[in-house]
Copies of this chain bind each other. A is one copy, B any other.
Amino acid sequence: MQLTLDRPTLISLAAGFTDHASLPVMETTRLLRSILMEPKMARRSLQYGSTAGDPALRKLTIERLRNLDSSLDSPIYTPENVLITHGSQQLLYLVTECLCDPGDIVLVEDPTYFVYLGILQSHGIASRGIKLQADGLDLKELGRVLDDLKQRGLLPRVKMLYLVSYFQNPSGITTSLEKKRAALELLKKYEKDAGHPIYLLEDAAYRELRFTGAEVPSGLSISSDRVIYAGTYSKPFATGIRVGYGVVPEPLLTVLTRVKGNHDFGTSHLLQQILRAALESGAYEQHLALLQSRYSAKARVLTRAMEMEFPSDAIQWEKPAGGLYVWAKTDVPTGRKSKVFNGALEENVLYVPGEVCYPEDPTRRAPRNTMRLSFGGASKSEMREGIRRLGKVLRAGR
């Protein structure tokens, strides 16, 4: 992101910036007017709130999740299970900080969200990668890894499985409900040897940015006490308004809330009120529909440009069904030291080298021939031009 900000002529297909032209300026203006015109609400929004978050926003969050999960009668999670955070990123941080000790192990997808790998690394926590299939985790490998950890007496160090379950960053893959259920059952089987719960941390950051395919229910619809759900209102509305949330079972929730208090006392009350008003008024839903069609169109522009400009025999990708990324596999090195990456930089084009998305695993060499291309921040013409230049570099590098 810093490079993108520092070098304005750079075409960034890397950073997770969101679409700039569609940011909800009018909507935010209207919502803020409604909040600030009503004296009591205005003052409340400018005052501290509670650490857990605004009760109305917590209630709206659960209603929205029950709708998405088509589990309207499900009493499994209540507004009391919701912790509002400064983006879902903060929830991921808090969970990891509170649940894990140095030397612990977190199971992750292979590849996975690279910032999360950074969080693990900064806490001295190891990761074990589980390969992905078209519908999510390779369950056989998950079983093998758990068995291996059991045999080596390492299960007591395993605290959770981290899953970016919708339009995964970076691969675009969505985990099916069946696989979530099977993964939860597998984890449960090993709890006795672990001596503690093994949680599923479900990172649903891209869930609402879906433009094709059916809605997949979350892990919350399966388990009442082993799923930690991380959701966000930032990406589906405005990333400058940092509001995310967790749905967290007790006793973990109490611990997270205390530590969140130590971090910052609670999420900015003004930002929370913007989201509350957006959800209540329908502005959130309306803007989301606009974003979905916009990202859908941008994804088409990106993949069409790739079809035209990339050497077709040697590069593969799937058309995304949601999210912000296309994950491409080539037959040449794409890492930070590669000719392709540096050639692209010379052409003023940036992508995320796929190598940073793989957990460290001494049993295999991480693939070095993948790249993550974003259709979030760049405009359509920037994407076309960026892919044209990248195609030139890819052809030259072979």
Could you tell me the distance in whole angstroms from the C-beta of A350 to the nearest C-beta in chain B? 15
Residues of B within 8 A of A242 (CB): 264-265, 267-268
Given known contacts A87-B264, A268-B271, is B50 in contact with A2 (CB within 8 Å)? yes
Task: Tell me the nearest residue of chain B to A49, going by C-beta.
Answer: B240
Residues of B within 8 A of A18 (CB): 47-48
Could you tell me the distance in whole angstroms from the C-beta of A5 to the nearest C-beta in chain B? 5
Residues of B within 8 A of A271 (CB): 268, 270-271
Segment from A28-36, A156-164, A214-222 that makes contact with B: A28-36
How far is B244's CA from A333's CA once the two chains are assembled, in angstroms?
A: 43
Across the interface, A20 reaches (CB within 8 A) one of B36, B47, B119, B268, namely B47
Could you tell me the distance in whole angstroms from the C-beta of A155 to the nearest C-beta in chain B? 24
Task: Tell me the nearest residue of chain B to A274, going by C-beta.
Answer: B270
A269: interface (CB < 8 Å):
yes
A319: interface (CB < 8 Å):
no
Question: Hey, what's the 0/1 contact readout for A227-268 against B, CB within 8 Å counting as 1?
Answer: 000000000001111100000000000000011011111011
Q: A240–B20 contact, CB under 8 A?
A: no
How far is B19's CA from A110's CA once the two chains are assembled, in angstroms?
A: 51
Task: Tell me the nearest residue of chain B to A41, going by C-beta.
Answer: B25
Given known contacts A28-B36, A268-B86, is B122 in contact with A46 (CB within 8 Å)? no
Residues of B within 8 A of A149 (CB): none
How far is B1's CA from A29's CA once the two chains are assembled, in angstroms?
A: 30
Q: B20–A265 contact, CB under 8 A?
A: no
**Dominant secondary structure of chain A at its interface with chain B:** helix
Could you tell me the distance in whole angstroms from the C-beta of A59 to the nearest C-beta in chain B? 15
Residues of B within 8 A of A2 (CB): 50-51
- Residue from A28, A29, A36, A240 having most chain B Cβ neighbours under 10 A: A240
Across the interface, A25 reaches (CB within 8 A) one of B42, B85, B87, namely B42
Q: How large is the interface on A (under 10, 10 to 19, 20 to 34, 35 or more residues)?
A: 35 or more
Residues of B within 8 A of A87 (CB): 264-265
Q: A32–B25 contact, CB under 8 A?
A: no
A43: interface (CB < 8 Å):
yes
A374: interface (CB < 8 Å):
no
Q: A25–B48 contact, CB under 8 A?
A: no
Could you tell me the distance in whole angstroms from the C-beta of A160 to the nearest C-beta in chain B? 17
A154: interface (CB < 8 Å):
no
A182: interface (CB < 8 Å):
no
Question: Hey, what's the 0/1 contact readout for A162-174 against B, CB within 8 Å counting as 1?
Answer: 0000000000000
A332: interface (CB < 8 Å):
no
Residues of B within 8 A of A37 (CB): 29
Residues of B within 8 A of A177 (CB): none
Question: Hey, what's the 0/1 contact readout for A1-43 against B, CB within 8 Å counting as 1?
Answer: 1100100000000001110110111001100110011010011
Given known contacts A25-B42, A43-B20, is B50 in contact with A93 (CB within 8 Å)? no
Q: B263–A240 contact, CB under 8 A?
A: no
Residues of B within 8 A of A153 (CB): none
Residues of B within 8 A of A17 (CB): 47-48
Q: B25–A29 contact, CB under 8 A?
A: no
A-B contacts besides A16-B48, A18-B48, A238-B270, 7 pairs, CB < 8 Å: A1-B51, A44-B240, A47-B239, A48-B240, A86-B263, A240-B268, A240-B269
Write 18 A-B pairs (CB below 8 A) sorted by A numbering: A17-B48, A21-B43, A23-B42, A24-B46, A25-B36, A25-B42, A28-B42, A28-B270, A86-B264, A89-B262, A89-B263, A93-B263, A118-B261, A240-B268, A240-B273, A242-B267, A263-B263, A268-B268
